[in-house]
A = this chain, B = another copy of it.
Amino acid sequence: MKGTVGELGEFGLIRELTSRLTTTAAVALGPGDDAAVVATPDRRVVASTDVLLEGNHFRRDWSTAYDVGRKAAAQNLADIAAMGAVPTALLLGLVVPPDLPATWPVELMDGLRDECQVAGAAVVGGDVVRGATITVAITALGNLGNREPVTRSGARPGDVVAVTGWLGWSAAGFAVLSRGFRSPRAFVEAHRRPEPPYHAGPAAADLGATAMTDVSDGLIADLGHIADASGVVIDLRSGDLDIPAQMRDIGHAVGVDPVRWVLTGGEDHAIVATFPSGTKLPARWKIIGEVRPPAGRPQVTVNGAPWEAAGGWEHFGDA
């Protein structure tokens, strides 16, 4: 495809984008009308919205449009999974500068579509407008399949804390890219294109998870939301965190303790949940800590003490 978004025009671009989509049995009415219609077999829909901005959440020189699409979809679909639901649909609100090559939004849509397919969902609608900064606003929908939603507020003292998926890989990849390198490839790829364990969300709900979230802002920050909402202390055992040898090597090369990436790095969209003690967890879940009664304020501790470093990433912060 040649030319810019402005040359293609709004309707031309929308035609091009929707022509690339696939559908699923859950999509009763897809793009092209005032609204889409999606099946919700258990009479409830799970819905979540996230916004990604160029420069803030992605860089075009570090990530292809396709990767941004994969990542934007993954981030939202992981929120659905973290409620114990199966993702079904995704809507895209897209802001594009008129001088942007038309291939960019087209490849973005390919990425959204493909990540949706990984999760069993489909892109069902959207809106495209002209503006200065590329902005990708995503809403994901999902189906609880008669499970009760697993919120952040159900963690109880005595529960174990377990995680599945990747932790710190995206942050390590970011550290590599920030220093101008493109390898080790596995970590750079993890930063460009997270692989949330979607299936683990509904599976955790079925296993009796008492609280659950995906790790988008960092393990300590996201567990902090569970600690706050549940009124508990969550204590992590750093020795139980999985730190691959290659991540240690990167840490050594760039002068960062890789434990920091695992504890505070976001964007991998691992799924972390609390379970009643004694729950038999499948091998892909790693127990990394436990829930304790609140001693003073709810918080997350590491080996019984507050983690000294910043606990997460606040988008408006100056840090």
Chain A 275-319 near chain B by CB (<8 Å), digits 1 or 0 = 000000000000000000000000000000000000000111110
The smallest beta-carbon distance between A92 and chain B, in angstroms, is 7
The copy count of this chain in the complex is 2
Number of interface residues of A (CB under 8 A): 76
Q: Are A131 and B316 in contact (CB under 8 A)?
A: no
The smallest beta-carbon distance between A133 and chain B, in angstroms, is 6
Q: Are B47 and A79 in contact (CB under 8 A)?
A: no
Q: Are A126 and B49 in contact (CB under 8 A)?
A: yes
Chain A 216-256 near chain B by CB (<8 Å), digits 1 or 0 = 00000000000001000000000000000000000000000
Q: Are A35 and B79 in contact (CB under 8 A)?
A: yes
Q: Is the CB of A257 closer than 8 A to any CB of chain B?
A: no
A9-B316, A35-B80, A93-B51 known; A151 and B29 CB under 8 Å? yes
Which residue in B32, B40, B48, B212 is a CB contact (below 8 Å) of A91? B48
Which A residues between 1 and 52 are near B, CB-CB below 8 angstroms? 5-6, 8-11, 13, 28-29, 32-52
> How many angstroms between the C-alpha atoms of A29 and B44 in the bound complex?
10
- Using Cβ atoms and an 8 Å threshold, which residues of chain B touch A141? 45, 47
The smallest beta-carbon distance between A319 and chain B, in angstroms, is 11
Q: Are B35 and A85 in contact (CB under 8 A)?
A: yes
Chain A 114-138 near chain B by CB (<8 Å), digits 1 or 0 = 0000000000111111111101011
> How many angstroms between the C-alpha atoms of A138 and B186 in the bound complex?
36
Q: Are A56 and B129 in contact (CB under 8 A)?
A: yes
Q: Is the CB of A168 closer than 8 A to any CB of chain B?
A: no
Q: Is the CB of A144 closer than 8 A to any CB of chain B?
A: yes
Q: Are A89 and B131 in contact (CB under 8 A)?
A: no
Q: Are B132 and A47 in contact (CB under 8 A)?
A: no
Residues of A within 8 A of B (CB): 5-6, 8-11, 13, 28-29, 32-53, 56-57, 79-80, 82-83, 85, 89, 91-95, 98, 124-133, 135, 137-142, 144, 149, 151-153, 212-214, 229, 314-318
